[in-house]
Amino acid sequence: MEPTANLDMERYIFDIATDDGIRQAIVESRGECNSINLGDSFLGTTWQDQNRGMQWKTADQALEQYLWDIAASLSQVFSRNGFPTLLKGAYPDIVQTVWKSSETLEVTLNPNTCLEVFSTFLKDEVLNLVDFEEHLDLIVKNKDDEYFKIIGVN
């Protein structure tokens, strides 16, 4: 089951290592509290503890073993390396991102998404998400399709 984006929440999606292999973590944030899912399973919530230097905390035992990896990924969300996390969280039509080189990120869309409409929208909106100055090329394509669009960032 695909999670649905709640439009009043910030949403971040990234992969983390688990005992069962690499799994997709979904972090939905509203204010100072994060809701964490691992794959289809809700793990719990996190918040930053002001009394402990703003370290991430949880009361959910299932989440504790992943807390450091999640916190590390969240700390990079607005960097160039964390940009895929931000993209996947903001646009549910994105099913995968893969770095092709240090300046090229391949963005794969759901096969049912109209590439022309999505790429036009992304080109207009991507600078609202970017918080880094380095150049980046996005290769945007539908899953299982060779046709693509290139969107330059910065």
Residue, of 119 and 128, whose pLDDT is higher: 119
Percent of the chain at pLDDT > 70 equals: 94
Provide the residue type at 34 as one letter: N
Whole-prediction pTM: 0.76
* Strand-pair category, 33-38 with 21-30: antiparallel
As separate numbers, helices (DSSP H) first and strands (DSSP E) second, the chain gives 4, 9
Q: For position 144, what pLDDT does the model report? A: 92
